Every structure is written in structure tokens, then in C-alpha cells.
Structure 1
Amino acid sequence: MILGIVSALVAVVGGVLGSGAVIGTPIAEAADGALSATATLAAPAGPAFSIWSVIYLGLLAYAVWQALPAQQRSTRQRILRRPIAATMLLNAAWILVVQWGRVFLSVVVIVALLASLAVVFSLLIRHPIERTSSAATAVDTVVTDGTFGLYLGWVTIATVANVSAWLAATGWTGGASLWGVVVLVVAALVGLFLARVSNGRIAQALSLSWGLAWVAQGRLAGENLDTVVGWTAALAAAVVLVGTLALRVTARQRR
């Protein structure tokens, strides 16, 4: 219980630091701008990052939810607490590493974050919500499954952008458009895989599609233009969203 609350507060404080709203340097300006919206072809346009407000709100809501007496007795929450705490602490660590200007180390941390979120996602699937009341089920669906689904989908596209930023920071410029197309296709395939193993869970598809759509906007109408990458991102966003919805309908029909 305490671990969940402390981890959420650390993550949110890290988010404030990373936004530069009170102290610290905005992520887009840290590390010599390596992670700005125009640094690479795989970077989402600036407004995409507003999704963090929703994710951080969800993390705080989860911290409160898992601390309630009924959830303290929940087997599901007992299994989830430590892996979820790891995701929140790694998120704060990533922000600190970027503020420190270490782009390669930020790749290491975000890959670890993505892996930890994948573990949480698998646990959410393997340990479904314990049916107690319709109200509790609805809250758990939104606060736990919804929050960490959004978190996973967004970190998937963020990892793509982060790796691309590191490569650019090393001076690698060869085949930038081809690299952009390849990593966006991989992101779409990951989105479809997550939909397949979860029978069409929608939260991770929404955030991944959101990120892909803003990559498209940045390449088609922003400063760092690339029509091929832009349309690939737009198509990838549509494929993830439509494919997930189709798998969701199919799973419901089977049930």
C-alpha cells in the first residue's frame, strides 16, 4: 500500500520536473534538444505529450485505489503492486537521466520501463478483475487496467522515439526515412500483438494510436517534414486502432 503511494508521488514529482513547469528543464530542451518534437522523424509532435496528464492522473487514482481496505485484501492488487511500483520509479528515473543529458542511458531506462509495463500488462490479463460489485469492477477497469494500458501504449511509441533520438545524437543520419518507416511498422505490429493477446483491450491501442497520429502530424505539417514517414505513421495509427477494435468484437462474439 505505502509502496504504491510513494511510487506514484515520485512519478508525479518527476513529471513536474520533466515538464519544467516549476523547476527543471522541459524534456524537449534537455539533452541539447535530442528528444524534442522535431529532433527525429519518429518523434511525435508536441501536443502528443499532453497524454502524460491523463497517465499521471491515473497513477494517482491507482495509488488511492490500491490503498483502500478492500483492495489491500485483493490477491490481484497484491500481485500487481511491486511491478506497478517499478514502472513508476523507472519513469521518474528516465526523467532524471534525461535532465542529466545522458541520452544512451535514457534508452536503457525506457527499455526497462517498457519491459516492466509489459509484465504488468501480462499480469492484468492473467489475473482478471475480481468480481465483487459492478461499481468496484468499473473503477478497477478504468483505474488499473485503463491507466496501465494507456501507459504501455504511450511508452511503446516513446521508446521508438527515444531510440531514434539516441541514434541521431550519435551522428547517425543514414537512411533516416527508411528507419522511420521500419520502426513505425514495428510499433504497429506491437500494437496488434498486444491486442491479440488481450482479446482487444482498447486502452493501449488508444495511446499508441494517439502517439502514431501525432508522429504523422509532425511529419506532414510540422518543421521536420517527411511525407513517406508521415503517411506510414497515419496508416499505422489506423491499423492499430481498427485492428484492435476488430479483435475486440471477435472476442466478444466468441464469448
Structure 2
Amino acid sequence: MASDTRPTTNVPATTSSDPVLKRRRAARILVVILAVGQPVSSGLFPLLSDEMMQSGARFSPLIPPGPWFAIWGLIIVASLVWALAQVRPSTIHRERGIRDRLVLPFSIAFASFALWLATAAFGQDNPLGLVVFVAYLVAFVIAWRQVVGARDEIHRWNVTERGLLYLTLGVYSGWTSMAFFVQIATVVQSTGAPYDTAWGITWQTFVLAAATGLAVFFAVVSRGSIAYAATVTYALVGVGISTADAGLTILSIVAAAGVSVVWASTGVVRALAMRRRRDSAAPGDSADARPATTRTRS
């Protein structure tokens, strides 16, 4: 009897036959749905809410001018492109990689967009918005820790996808980490706190100092993300413009100082990271590089 001489290939299991791959694909599809929900909820907001989003010095000195918020367009597009790129069959594997570990934090972040708009429907100064921003920040801390811990895996991706990940995560976390303090300022001001007196300048200085401190923290967590630092700079420049427009020159100087601190921190973190990588790659640090007599001595 003739034997079957057809060549055999090692074909990976498909999502239709492997329950693990099906679950992974379903999770990635959920991220796409939540990413799509961002522009959808943004479009529905003016139709379903009587609230008008306000910006600039006339509303609150720490809120950047209206055109500054166009960055949300970049964030939304980058989020959607990232999410869609992760449902390609070639990116879904049985082993749980960094793409799968980013599903949860990105899901929280994308869902938080619509949740914040829901709170803003009852007023931009709604304190519940702060709760949403806390969820945002926790999600991005988790995401950055996962990304930093998987640098070797990410390095094997093509340059476009690596850039997409770092752009999406850097810009999104940079903008929302600064927006958190804009929300704090808005809530405080809504209680009747002054903004153009000595006390008003003092409490707003503390808010900007706290925003700078959080930015330094993210610089450390992200191992000196350039996209993050650039986005924080963009936000603080906007704050500087608004505070100058309100005649609060001191706050403009504080915002500029914040930019300097963020970039100095980013530079230090990146320099230390490069030094650690260089030291770990040095032959003298490897056990295999030592003389055999040294390694086997009892």
C-alpha cells in the first residue's frame, strides 16, 4: 500500500479550535470595542448633555487654551490603531505575552474616557471625575511597569509597532496625568476658592508642584519615556499660556520650572538606565567570562 508522501507542516492552532486562543482574541476584541467607544462617546456628549466644555483662563487659570485639547484626537486615533493591530491572528499566541498583559490596563483606560464624560455631564467640576482619573493613573502605572519589564520582547517587534505602543502609552498617560491636576484645580475653584489672590496663587502653586511630582514619578516608572515628557511639556506650556493670560505671572514661572524638572528627571533616568544596561553587558559581570579555576574553586 502506497504511503502518503504529502509534506506535513507544523500549523499552529487557530482561534476557532483552541479555547486559549479564543479567549485571548475575545479579550483583544473587547479592547477594540472600548477604543471605539472613545470617539463615539465624545460625539454623543454634546447631543446628550447640556454641559458645555470650557477651557482657558476665563474658566480656570490652570486649564490650557481650547486648541490644546486637540491632542485628544491624536490619543483617540493612536488608541484605536493600537487596539486594531492587536487582533491580527499573527499576534495571538498561547503563551501570555506583553500584548495580553496590556489588555487590562488599556481596557481600564479606554473605558475611563467614557466614564469621565459621564461625570462631566453633571458639570466639569464634578468631584467624581477625580475617581475616574485615579483609575486612569493606576491603569497607566500598571501598563508602564508591564512594558518596561518586557523591553526585550517588545524590541523584537517591528519599529512601527514599537513606536505605536510607546506613542500611545506616552501621550495618553502624559496628558491624563496632567489633566488629573487640572480637574483638582477645577473642583477646588468650584468651592469658591480664590485664584487671583495670594492664597489663590499659593494653592495653585501646590497643585502645579504636585503635577510636576507625578510627572517625575512617571518618568521613573516609564524609564524616561520621551513621548511622556513631551506631552507633559505640551500640557504645562498650555497652563503657562493660560496663567499668563490671567495675569498670574508667578504661576507661569512655576509651570516653566515644572517643564525643566520633568526633562531633567527624564534625562537622569535615561542615563541611569543606559548605564545599567552597559554594566550588565560588560564581560566582567558574567560568570561565564571568569576563569574556569575561579568558577570551580570550592
Q: Deviations over 1:53-106 (max 9, x none)?
A: 111111011111111122222611111112211110011110122023261111
How do residues 151-230 of structure 1 correspond to structure 2 at under 5 angstroms?
Answer: 151-173=172-194, 175-220=199-244, 222=245, 224-230=246-252
- Cα distance in 2, alignment partners of residues 167 and 12 from structure 1: 29
User: Bigger relative contact order, structure 1 or 2, given CA contacts below 8 A and separation 6+?
Assistant: 1
- Cα distance in 2, alignment partners of residues 227 and 47 from structure 1: 21
1:71 to 91, 115, 118: 91
- Cα distance in 2, alignment partners of residues 171 and 119 from structure 1: 36
Q: Is the 8 A contact 2:62 2:242 kept in 1?
A: no
5+ residue gaps, structure 1, are: none
Residues 110, 193 of structure 1: alpha-carbon distance in 2 compared, 3 angstrom cutoff: closer
1:103 to 126, 146, 150: 126
Paired position in structure 2 for 1:234: 256
Amino acid at match of 1:50: A
- Offset of 1:214 from its aligned partner? 0.8
Q: Is the 8 A contact 1:80 1:123 kept in 2?
A: yes
CA RMSD of aligned residues (A): 2.3
Paired position in structure 2 for 1:37: 56
Amino acid at match of 2:274: R
Residues 42, 25 of structure 1: alpha-carbon distance in 2 compared, 3 angstrom cutoff: same
- Offset of 1:226 from its aligned partner? 0.5
Q: Deviations over 1:157-195 (max 9, x none)?
A: 100000110111122227221111112122222222222
- Cα distance in 1, alignment partners of residues 135 and 39 from structure 2: 19
- Cα distance in 2, alignment partners of residues 227 and 103 from structure 1: 28
5+ residue gaps, structure 2, are: 1-27, 278-298
- Offset of 1:6 from its aligned partner? 0.2
Greater fraction of residues in helix: 1
How many residue pairs end up in the alignment? 243
- Cα distance in 2, alignment partners of residues 113 and 254 from structure 1: 30
User: Is the radius of gyration larger for structure 1 or structure 2?
Assistant: 2
- Offset of 1:24 from its aligned partner? 5.3
Residues 141, 245 of structure 1: alpha-carbon distance in 2 compared, 3 angstrom cutoff: farther
Q: Is the 8 A contact 2:62 2:182 kept in 1?
A: yes
- Offset of 1:244 from its aligned partner? 1.1
- Cα distance in 2, alignment partners of residues 131 and 233 from structure 1: 34
- Cα distance in 1, alignment partners of residues 127 and 84 from structure 2: 34
1:15 to 19, 27, 42: 42
